[in-house]
Structure 1
Amino acid sequence: MEHGSHAGRASSWAAVSVMLLGFLTGGIALCVGPNWLFFWIGAGLIAVGGILALAFDIFSDVIVDAPRVISAAEHHSPFERQ
């Protein structure tokens, strides 16, 4: 991964895609029926995606930048603290 990128690795996106597929499957199953078989299949896919996310350590994709100092815009509010 390139320095300064917030895109993530392909393995991380695969885990997120599995969880998204499970969420969509379960959501559609609730809307059309409810179809409990497909709901639980969706829940299972979410669990599998979570296990993949832990195995792929997707939280290590986050790059913490140095704190940014941004000057506050001047405004005149009666609630402004002095």
Structure 2
Amino acid sequence: MAEEVHEDHGHSIAAWTGVGVILVGSALASVAVAIANVALFVVGIVICLVGAVAGKVLSMAGYGAKTVVGPDSPDTTKPELGIH
């Protein structure tokens, strides 16, 4: 019988921060396109890049999603199944 892998699906501080900052940047870039302002568009794109970097940095700092294998086993290696 295969064990279920429970994933957090991005419900973490890192994911929400990254997505929130990227959302603000994309909204700003969208407004810039509508009013034909190249400088504001570039600022919006830079904010999007900052959001992606912030999400990755927070994830590496331990604020990312955790993957848990099975309800009682935090260990992902199962020698009896040949999985390493």
Q: Specify the TM-score bucket, using the shorter chain as the normaliser.
A: 0.5 to 0.7
TM-score, scaled to structure 2: 0.57
Q: Which amino acid aligns with 2:45?
A: A
Structure 2 regions of 5+ residues with no counterpart?
A: 1-5, 71-84
Spell out, residue by residue over 1:8-60, the C-alpha distance to the aligned partner (whole angstroms, 9 max, x if none). 1233211110001001100110012x1011101101100100101211228x5
RMSD: 2.8
Question: Which residue is equivalent to 1:37?
Answer: 39
Question: Which residue is equivalent to 1:53?
Answer: 55
Q: Would you say how many aligned residue pairs link Structure 1 and Structure 2? A: 62
Highest relative contact order (Cα 8 Å, sep 6+), 1 or 2? 2
Percent identical residues:
23
> Is contact 1:6-1:63 (8 Å) kept?
no
CA spacing shift, 1:64–1:20, aligned 2, 3 Å: farther
Find the structure with the greater CA-based Rg. 1
**For residues 8-23 of structure 1, what are the structure 2 equivalents within 5 Å?**
8-23=11-26
TM-score, scaled to structure 1: 0.58
Question: Which residue is equivalent to 1:74?
Answer: none
CA spacing shift, 1:4–1:46, aligned 2, 3 Å: closer
